[in-house]
Chain A
Amino acid sequence: MTTTIQETDERFIAVLSGELDTAAAEQTSQALQPLLDSKGKEIVLDCTDLEYISSSGLRVLLSILKQAKSVGSRVVLKNVNEVIRDVLDISGFISIFEME
């Protein structure tokens, strides 16, 4: 599981690649720490190469979303694959995240 974050003037773009399972959740959570201070900028999570996500991974995404909402910014999930879309669907997360 690798995570890279790019910061522009308008937004943060985090590229997630690999499998965000329970084992990887903690490390990923730390890697995404900068996003918790988004300063009102839009957060884009690029999931193009994200192959797998577990509930622990969802939790990481949820904590970012909660933080962003509290300062009035938005979180967009980009290029979500079918497997992950299923998981978002089952968990109901599909209705609280913006998808692109």
Chain B
Amino acid sequence: MNSSLKSSISRVGIIVIAAVMVEVISIIQYERLRGIMEEEMSSRSHVIVSALADRIQYTLDKTEITMQENLWDVMRSMAHPDSVYSALVRLVDDNPDIVGGCLAFYPYYYPSKGRLYEPYVRKSPDGTMEMRQLAGPDHDYTRNEEYLWVLNHKESSWTDPYSFESDTINYATYSYPILDTQGEVQAICGLDIELSWLGNLLNTRQPFASTFSCLLTPKGDFVTGPPESRTPRAEVELAVAIANGILPESDYPKLLMRKTSLHKDPYWQVVQVYKADEVYAKMHRMRRQQMVLILLGLAILAFMINRYARNEKKLRKASEEQARISGELSVARRIQEEMLPKSFPAHIYGSLEPAREVGGDLYDFYQRDGKLFFCIGDVSGKGVPSAMLMSVIHSLFRVLSQKTEDPSHILKVLNQELCRGNDSNMFVTFFAGCLDLYTGKLHYANAGHDKPYLLGDAPTQLAAKSNLPLGVFPDTEFEPQECTLSPGAMLFLYTDGLTEAKNSRREAFGRSRVQQVLTDCLANGQMTPESMVHAVSDAAHRFAEDAPQSDDLTMLLIRYLPGELFKNQITLVNERAEVEKLGAFVKDFCSSLELDRKSSAHLRLALEEAVVNVINYAYPKGEKGNIDIYADSNRKEVRFTIVDSGVPFDPTAAISADTTLDAQNRPIGGLGILLTRKLADSVSYCRKGDKNVLTITKSIQ
């Protein structure tokens, strides 16, 4: 599984966990709120229903009290059947709730009135009283359940509400037994109260639009409820069925019911019905809003996480890229370091401290034919471009110096190469030298580089011509210069990174400080190149303190230590007989060096073959010419230099004989240069002016 998939899964995971947490919190909150609301609603409902019940009870009580208070009047009026009406009028008139009153007499109470007698007074809406006798063949109150109950129990009783002359139930009757002194029922007084207000009372001031209340009889029959305009009949019937336990309440979680009964006769029930949807509507709305907010929050969270992750990815990518570049730079640095001389002989030391990973400075030295070739250079600019150019120059120097001992020529060719296609206008200050380790003769040329110091008794600047740097104009000439170093003298080369090393106050280290350090070294007898280079480097770093190194710092110090020198010279003419003289010359020189027979013979053969080559080919046939042979040694190495004024001829370029051929196919010639090459350590040719110069060296340690 790749890491980006992993990270996006973990991102999704974070969001999902956040969503689940928020949802759980929301549910807990919702449930708590619901509980609170339910409690609140319950208590509110209780208050409302109790108030309704109280109100009803109050009306009923008032009716009962009116009955009590007027009982004496009714009883008194019973003395005459017709005076009963006036008593009933007074009774009905006494209480505005009461709309009618009757007195149903025990059968044959008034013999004159026959078996049944029931005077009735009714209050019409305009306040007038209508009086009539209700009993008749079609109205036998003695069969009335209510009548019979009161008669038997001798207790007052309320009827269930009923409808009278109307579609709606609008009446209830209070029946009160009037007893004689023996406790026998003489008549039952009924008071009708109007209940149409009850419907209004029940359903005004409901807390929610859909909430309604109904009044039920103790048996659960529906008495009155909300008008149909307010609540559909079906809903009311459903609520009644639930209240009566016909339908289980648990099947209708959307209906919330509160029920209370009057605490005494007639034990009517008040039922209040809430619709959960409406009760919790606000809460649901709140919850919905909350959900929207939460979703919005989560979306923002997701966006932020995503953004963060993307940024992090970008950052990671950038840092990976940086790591790659710095990895490549460190490889480049290693390559560059490897191009520099890795080991130093005792008389030479160099150091290069790049300001960045890779630098534009270079130095190099190597020994060939008893001569030390060296250079120091500074490519304009810093960093990778300079480093690339530096590598080119370094390689070119190595190649060019193989074929010439003239530093000015090296500079000339380098310059031409650099000017070719130098579109970026980079230039290089460069100093190259060639020190003859036997004679101390120093050939050098400068291309705009800082003049090296010559350290004899005191540091003095080498009298080098400045000239233009390399890479400026293709036709620049670099004057060849020379001087001779006395044994023990030193040459200190550096790049401007040393003199221009700055401290935090922007002051430069400067040439005078360099000179001072070198003088101190000389005075202290601190004479090894390594210790001197370190002394200068340390001084520069101490001076710069913590200021960042702004340029590459490069130094090269060469000490001329020829040691015990042996030299000899012979001049031959171009005749084969001269070879004998050469043999004697080489043998003498070798015995002065105390070489063994074998080494001596090898050197003699190497030289003889080379000189015979010159005798045979350098001069046109019949023409006389001289051959100068120089022998030098410092006991470590022997160097023979063969100089002639013949036609240019490079024997090192000639093809050697094939030594694998058999006798029949073996050519007679071509062996000479092969022997020279095999027997010597190095053979090199160069043309100096009108002379051929062939140098043969061999280590004798």
State the A residues within 8 Å of B (CB): 19, 21-23, 26, 51-52, 54-56, 58-59, 62-63, 65-66, 69, 82-83, 86-87, 90-92, 95-96
Q: Give 22 CB contacts A-B under 8 Å.
A: A22-B608, A23-B577, A26-B576, A52-B604, A52-B605, A54-B612, A54-B672, A56-B612, A59-B668, A59-B669, A62-B666, A66-B663, A69-B663, A69-B664, A83-B597, A83-B602, A91-B659, A91-B671, A91-B674, A92-B659, A92-B660, A95-B662
Query: How many B residues touch the partner, as a band?
Result: 20 to 34
Residue of B nearest to A69 (CB): B663
Select one of A19, A54, A62, A95 contacting B609, CB under 8 A.
Answer: A54
Q: Are A55 and B663 in contact (CB under 8 A)?
A: no
Q: With the chains together, A92 CA to B577 CA distance in Å?
A: 27
Beta-carbon contact of B662 and A83 below 8 Å:
no
CB neighbours (8 Å) of B604 from chain A are: 52
Closest chain-A Cβ to B660's Cβ sits at a distance in Å of: 6
- Give every chain B residue within 8 A of A59 (Cβ-Cβ): 668-669, 671
New A-B pairs, 17, CB < 8 Å, besides A54-B672, A69-B664: A22-B612, A23-B578, A51-B601, A52-B604, A52-B605, A54-B605, A54-B675, A55-B609, A55-B672, A62-B663, A83-B597, A83-B598, A83-B601, A86-B598, A87-B605, A96-B662, A96-B663
Partner of A21, one of B608, B663, B678: B608
Q: Is the CB of B657 within 8 A of A86?
A: no
In the complex, how many angstroms separate the beta carbon of A47 from the nearest chain B beta carbon?
Answer: 14
Of B604, B664, B671, B679, most A-chain CB atoms within 10 Å: B671
Q: How far is the CB of A73 from chain B (nearest CB, A)?
A: 13
Interface of B is mostly: helix
Q: Chain B 674-691, CB within 8 Å of chain A: the 1/0 string?
A: 110011000000000000
Contact of A21 with B675 in the complex, beta carbons under 8 Å? no
Contacts of A96 in B (CB 8 A): 662-663, 666
Option from A66, A90, A95 in Cβ contact (under 8 Å) with B674:
A90
> B667 to nearest A CB, angstroms?
9
Report chain B residues within 8 Å CB of A92.
657-661
Complex interface: chain A residues within 8 A of B580 (CB): 21, 23
Measured CA separation A86–B604 after assembly (Å): 13
Question: B661's closest neighbor in chain A, by CB?
Answer: A92
Q: How far is the CA of A54 from the CA of B672 in the complex (A)?
A: 8
Chain B residues, CB < 8 A from A22: 576, 579, 608, 612
Q: Judge whether B583 is part of the interface by a CB distance below 8 angstroms.
A: yes
State the CA gap A62–B667 with chains docked (Å): 9
A-B residue pairs, 3 tightest by C-beta: A92-B659, A55-B671, A96-B663
CA gap between A92 and B657 in the complex, in Å: 10
Within 8 Å CB of B608, what residues of A? 21-22, 54
A95 to chain B, nearest CB (A): 8
Chain A, Cβ-Cβ closest to B668 = A59
For the complex formed, measure the closest distance between the CB of A67 and the CB atoms of chain B, giving whole angstroms: 10
A26 to B51 alpha-carbon distance, docked (Å): 156
Query: With a CB–CB cut-off of 8 A, which chain A residues contact B664?
Result: 66, 69
Contacts of B661 in A (CB 8 A): 92
B678 pairs with A90, CB closer than 8 A = yes
CB closest chain-B residue, reference A55: B671
State A26–B662 Cα separation when bound (angstroms): 24
Q: Chain B residue with minimal CB distance to A94? A: B659
Distance between Cα atoms of A63 and B666 in the complex (Å): 10
Complex CA distance for A21 and B604, rounded to whole angstroms = 10
Contact of B583 among A21, A26, A56, A65 (CB under 8 A): A21
Task: List B564-592 residues whose CB lies under 8 Å from chain A.
Answer: 576-580, 583
